[in-house]
Each structure stands twice: as structure tokens, then as C-alpha cells.
Amino acid sequence: METVLLRHRGPTLDTNLLIKSPSPSLLHRNPKPPTSPRIATFLLLIPPTPSVLSLPLVLDSFLALSVPPSICHRRVISSELPKIWLRSLVFGDLVQREAIFFQMATIVESVNSNIERAEEIKLSANEAFKANKFSQAIDLYSQAIELNGTNAVYWANRAFAHTKLEEYGSAVQDATKAIEIDPRYSKVKKICPNDPDASKKLKECEKAVQKLRFEEAIAVHESEKRSIADSIDFHTIEVESQYTGARIEGEVVTLEFVKKMMDEFKNQRHLHKRYAYQIILQAREMLQAMPSLVDISVPNGHHITVCGDVHGQFYDLLNIFELNGLPSEENPYLFNGDFVDRGSFSVEVILTLFAFKCMSPTAMYLSRGNHESKSMNKIYGFEGEVRSKLGETFVELFAEVFCCLPLAYVINDKIFVVHGGLFSVDGVKLSDIRAIDRFCEPPEEGLMCELLWSDPQPQRGRGPSKRGVGLSFGEDVTKRFLQENNLDLVVRSHEVKDEGYEIEHNGKLITVFSAPNYCDQMGNKGAFIRFTAPVLKPDIVSFSAVPHPDVKPMAYASNFLQMFS
């Protein structure tokens, strides 16, 4: 085995290439000098006898000299070369070989240009990420990946951006790809055994997994559980004489009480537990009697306002009422799920919405979101907030009441309102939704899961969910569902939008999101939609965030999630 050291000096390269070959000599000098220094180098590698040097070695050698060493997977380029080129390199004459190398050089120069452009786009994506413009960052990282899909950093960065939007399915896919490209991504604790941050996160992950396994082991089936609501009698709870907050006189929740309660909440004072129990239990009784799909009738000349996610942003909820009026029979609202979690005033939000429901059932309609569930509340802050402000019993009580929330509404037989979206199969009728037994925690698949979790997509058909739960559905899916059920429009929430709303699917689907500057970092507006009968044309109002007390979002979230927030 002979070792030949070739030194290539090009305009921008000065690289040593070590080649091992079974032949006595690889140097074959041609009488006519080639026109390119780079090609000259590689013509030296092509021997007179084609069998002497293997083609993969020639290609890898060329790419090793031509592609920066920081770029992974040079074989990707060689694997895409036309087979006729490969045959010409081995069996062709000098002119053919030189022509092929010219074309190879052009490809490599294009690759290098793409690599440089990808780095520029990545830097722009990083700036968007720092500015909390996570959707824009994802788009930019995607552009960088299209130009250079072998850079693990791009995939890892996009995965992190997906987590900021709770798109955990896409985040896992991107993180997996990053590890596939560069296995070192999976060894942070081994590479950095003394890194305190890595150690802390590893311990928290292990603790979270152990806790989930323990809870699963001791879990009692839903059908075997005794209702916590049946064990509570709020009448026996004494209200101390020094309590100066809002009071319910007798059994009826009045507008005066709700106004007083909201004012107390605004000044960061709490409601007495007796009245909190009374509101929640009365709301439970009303919600429990409702079907899984509720029909709302809006008389001609009257209206209804649909709001999206509020996510514990109580002061923005007050602003909605300031802009659009308080709920009443003449000014009804439909809040479309995700009342709690993330924002640190979720208790105030849910008690206010429940109180209006108790005051007048037709003034306030509430649908279930994916965050009205134990698993989400445990992670994203509501459980911790309830435990801190009201106590452990209320944690169980809220979980029970959330299972009573309807899953969807139909306004005047024309507008379908649901938190998440549509289904993995065609042919779902409104009667199928009415028949869902909703009094449980959301399952991981099926109609109920998809109602709470699915998202629209710009492509036709169906695709995997970016969240890892539910699915993505296209304009054709929306169109068929509306036609089969004689409906005109789908209104859903579940996603942050820059203006608080987005009209999609050829005008047949509207997303509305009512938590402006989501988590104090997204910079988005909130929105609500007013529909007036009989036309029911959507009148959309966007609004900006208002100041709130200095309590950060996720203040009550699990330690595990706070580390990655």
C-alpha cells in the first residue's frame, strides 16, 4: 500500500489530502495542462487504468478538498451525481473526465453558496427567536434547512422554537433529526458531566417521569371515583366577620356580586372560599345538564361574541369586557376553551367566567379546551395556582367540573365553534359529536381528542399534528365537513395569531385567540368576533395587551417546565 500526499492550492483553499491506494503510483501527468487548478489536482487522481482507483475515493477526495470541513455528510452530494457521470469518470477519456469535473466543481460551488446563505438565514432566525417571534423563527430555520439539511444546529434550533409554540410533535421530530445528524446532541450529560444546568435538567426529567409512573400506578378508574362535588356543602362554611370582599346573598349570583368580585380580583384580593365553592358547584350543575354539542339560537337583530384562548390573563379579560360590554342576555359571550394555564391569574379568570354563567346561563357559554384537563393543569400552572390560592380540594373540584364542559357549539345551525379542529376521518356528523361521552379526561385519540387538539394546515388533505396529538387538516377537509352538515363556517381557537385571528381555508375557517402578548413575550394582539343575526357576518375586533401586576406568567408552573420556559 502506497501513501501519496497531494497538496492542492486553489484561490481559497489550502488543504492536505491523504490518499491510500493499492497501485504503485497514482500520479499520471497529462501532456496538455487542464484549465483549472482544482481540476488539475483531480486529473492526477485518475489513473490510466480505471480499475486502479475506486470511484467513491475519487468523489470523496474531490468533495474533501472542495467542501468546507465543517459541513457534514459530503457523500450526500456524491450520491446525487448522475450515473452517466460516474461511468465517464471511470471509463471516459481525458476530455470527458475534465468536463465532468467542471460540472462537479459547479455543483460544489453551488453547495458552498447554499451553505453560506443558510448561515445568514440562521442568524436572522436567531434574532427572530430572541424577539419572541417564534413562528417567524421556525420559517427561517426551515429555509436554512432547505439549503443545508445536514447541519444539526438548524434542526435543534427549530425544535426549540416549536416548543415555544407548544408544537411538541414537531419539536420531537426535529430533535430526533438533529441527533441523527450529530449523535453528540444526545450526550450533553456525558460530555458535560460537571455542568450544573445539565445535571439539574436531567434530575428534573427523571423526577417528572417517576412521578408520572407513580400516578399511573395508583390511578383509580374514572367510573370508580366518587365525586368530590358531592362531598362539599358550602352552606356549612362560615364567613368571618372581618371579611370585606364580595358576598353572595342567598343562592343567587347577581351582577352586583360579579362586579364587586372582579374589582376585588383587580386589586389582587381573593374571594372567600365559601363563595368560590358556591360558584363552582352551581356552574357544575348547569354544565353537567348540557349536551356535548350545544345549539345556540341568536334572534334576528341580536348578536353573540366569540372569544378564544384567555390563558389566565385576567386583566386582558377585563379589557374585553371594557371594549365589548359585560356579559348579559342581550350581550352573550362564548369563550372557546383554554381559560386557564400559562397566565398567573387563571383562578380569577375561571371564577369570573363561571360567575357570569351562574348569573345568567344564556349570557355565558363555555367550551372545553385542551388545557381544561388534569395533565395540562399539572404542568402549565393552574394546578399550582389553585393549590396556592384556594387549596387542594379545589384542585380536584376544578378537574371534575372541567369534564362537564361541552365540546362544541353550533350557532343558528350555521357556525360550528370548537376549540381545536376537525377529524381524522370524513363523514363525522353533528349527531356523532352530540353522542360523545365527554365526562372524562381527554383521550389520546378519537373524536373528542381531535375536537380539542387538531389544527388547520395550508395543504389539502390531512397530516401529522405538529403538537404530537390530534392532526392537521386541510381546506378540503373543512369544506367536506361543512357541506355534509349544512354549515357555513368553522370558528376555532387553540393557536396564537399575530393579529389575534386568522382567516383560512378559503374563508371557511377562522382562528380566534384572545390572549394578547401571550405569556408576556409573543407580542401578538388578541381578538374577538361578533356575529349578528340573521346574516352572521364575522365582525372581528383586535386589541392589544394591557398592564398587569408584576407576577410573571407560569409563576405556579411545575419546576420541570419553568426550566425550559
pLDDT at residue 493, rounded to an integer: 99
Q: How far apart are CA 556 and CA 545, in angstroms?
A: 21
Q: Which residues contact 461 (CB under 8 A, 6 or more apart)?
A: 473, 474, 476, 477
From start to end of 350-442, where are the E strands?
A: 364-366, 408-411, 415-418
Q: What is the mean pLDDT of the chain?
A: 83
Residue 218 lies in a domain: no
Q: How far apart are CA 444 and CA 196, in angstroms?
A: 35
Report which listed range, 85-89, 100-104, 146-150, is most confident. 146-150
Range name among 6-20, 88-102, 241-255, 294-308 with the lowest pLDDT average = 6-20
Is there a single domain that holds both residue 346 and residue 441?
Answer: yes
Whether 558 and 379 have beta carbons less than 8 Å apart is answered as: yes
Place of cell 348547569: 286
Tens of pLDDT along 126-168? 999 998 888 899 999 999 999 888 888 999 999 888 888 878 8
Is there a single domain that holds both residue 153 and residue 234?
Answer: no
Residue 25 has pLDDT above 50, yes or no: no
pLDDT at residue 26, rounded to an integer: 33
Q: How far apart are CA 76 and CA 38, in angstroms?
A: 21
Q: What is the CATH number of the domain that holds 17?
A: 1.25.40.10
Q: Which three cell numbers stand for residue 330?
A: 342581550
Q: Which residues contact 151 (CB under 8 A, 6 or more apart)?
A: 71, 72, 118, 144, 145, 181
pLDDT at residue 18, rounded to an integer: 32
Q: Which three cell numbers stand for residue 20?
A: 491510500
pLDDT at residue 325, rounded to an integer: 99
Report which listed range, 14-23, 158-167, 195-204, is most confident. 158-167
pLDDT at residue 88, rounded to an integer: 58
Residue 337 lies in a domain: yes
Residue 473 has pLDDT above 70, yes or no: yes
Share of the chain above pLDDT 90, in %: 62
Of 449, 446, 455, 448, the C-alpha closest to 425 is 446
The backbone torsions φ and ψ at residue 488, rounded to the nearest 5 degrees and listed phi first, read: -110, -25
Residue 215 has pLDDT above 80, yes or no: no
Is there a single domain that holds both residue 122 and residue 235?
Answer: no
Domain that holds residue 451: 223-242+253-564
Bridging pattern class, strands 303-307 and 333-335: parallel
Is there a single domain that holds both residue 179 and residue 229?
Answer: no
Whether 430 and 447 have beta carbons less than 8 Å apart is answered as: no
Residue 301 has pLDDT above 90, yes or no: yes
Reduced to 3 states (helix: H, G, I; strand: E, B; else coil), residue 136 is helix
Residue 468 lies in a domain: yes
pLDDT at residue 516, rounded to an integer: 98
pLDDT at residue 188, rounded to an integer: 47
Share of the chain above pLDDT 70, in %: 72
Residues 220-225, mean pLDDT to the nearest whole number? 59
Report which listed range, 113-117, 327-331, 561-565, is most confident. 327-331
Range name among 41-55, 154-168, 270-284, 475-489 with the lowest pLDDT average = 41-55
pLDDT at residue 80, rounded to an integer: 46
Of 441, 465, 440, the C-alpha closest to 453 is 465
Q: How confident is residue 332, by pLDDT bands cut at 50, 70 and 90? A: very high
Residues 193-208, mean pLDDT to the nearest whole number? 61
Between the alpha carbon of residue 247 and those of residues 256, 336, 358, the distances in Å are 10, 28, 14
Between the alpha carbon of residue 64 and those of residues 4, 55, 73, 146, 184, the distances in Å are 16, 14, 10, 22, 22
Residue 214 lies in a domain: no
Residue 248 lies in a domain: no
Is there a single domain that holds both residue 234 and residue 150?
Answer: no
Tens of pLDDT along 419-452? 999 999 999 999 999 999 999 999 999 999 999 9
Is there a single domain that holds both residue 234 and residue 106?
Answer: no
Residue 195 lies in a domain: no
Is it true that the peptide bond before 534 is cis, omega within 30 degrees of 0? Answer: yes
Taking the model in full, what pTM does it have? 0.75
Range name among 23-32, 348-357, 472-481 with the lowest pLDDT average = 23-32
Between the alpha carbon of residue 183 and those of residues 158, 179, 245, the distances in Å are 17, 5, 59
For every residue of 276-290, which 3-state class applies, written as one string? HHHHHHHHHHHHHCC
pLDDT at residue 67, rounded to an integer: 45
pLDDT at residue 78, rounded to an integer: 45
The backbone torsions φ and ψ at residue 47, rounded to the nearest 5 degrees and listed phi first, read: -80, 165
Residue 298 lies in a domain: yes
Q: How confident is residue 27, by pLDDT bands cut at 50, 70 and 90? A: very low
Q: Which three cell numbers stand for residue 383?
A: 394546578
Residue 74 has pLDDT above 80, yes or no: no
How many CB atoms within 10 Å of residue 206? 10
Residue 59 lies in a domain: yes
How many CB atoms within 10 Å of residue 299? 9
Reduced to 3 states (helix: H, G, I; strand: E, B; else coil), residue 311 is coil
Q: How confident is residue 214, by pLDDT bands cut at 50, 70 and 90? A: low
Tens of pLDDT along 365-423? 999 999 999 999 999 999 999 999 999 999 999 999 999 999 999 999 999 999 999 99
Reduced to 3 states (helix: H, G, I; strand: E, B; else coil), residue 239 is coil
Catalytic residue set: 371
Residues 294-302, mean pLDDT to the nearest whole number? 99
Q: Which three cell numbers stand for residue 252?
A: 343567587
Is there a single domain that holds both residue 424 and residue 314?
Answer: yes
Is there a single domain that holds both residue 233 and residue 168?
Answer: no
Domain count, the chain: 2
Reduced to 3 states (helix: H, G, I; strand: E, B; else coil), residue 36 is coil
- Report which of residues 358 and 103 the model is more confident about: 358
Q: How confident is residue 87, by pLDDT bands cut at 50, 70 and 90? A: low
Q: Could you tell me how far CA 174 lies from the centroid of its own chain?
A: 13
Report CA torsion sign: 61, 65, 66, 70: positive
pLDDT at residue 125, rounded to an integer: 93
Residues 183-198, mean pLDDT to the nearest whole number? 58
Is there a single domain that holds both residue 426 and residue 379?
Answer: yes
**Sheet hosting strand 489-492, strand order edge to edge:** 293-296, 408-411, 415-418, 489-492, 509-512, 501-504
Q: How far apart are CA 77 and CA 100, in angstroms?
A: 14
pLDDT at residue 103, rounded to an integer: 64
Q: Which three cell numbers stand for residue 38?
A: 482544482
Q: Could you tell me how far CA 477 lies from the centroid of its own chain?
A: 21
pLDDT at residue 435, rounded to an integer: 98
Whether 529 and 306 have beta carbons less than 8 Å apart is answered as: yes
Give 150: exposed, middle or buried? Use CB within 10 Å, 0-12, 13-18, 19+. middle
Is there a single domain that holds both residue 165 and residue 238?
Answer: no
Residue 42 has pLDDT above 90, yes or no: no
Whether 6 and 40 have beta carbons less than 8 Å apart is answered as: no
| Final residue before a domain boundary, out of 186, 203, 234 | 186
Is there a single domain that holds both residue 229 and residue 174?
Answer: no
Is there a single domain that holds both residue 73 and residue 155?
Answer: yes
pLDDT at residue 196, rounded to an integer: 64
Q: What is the CATH number of the domain that holds 409?
A: 3.60.21.10
pLDDT at residue 39, rounded to an integer: 42
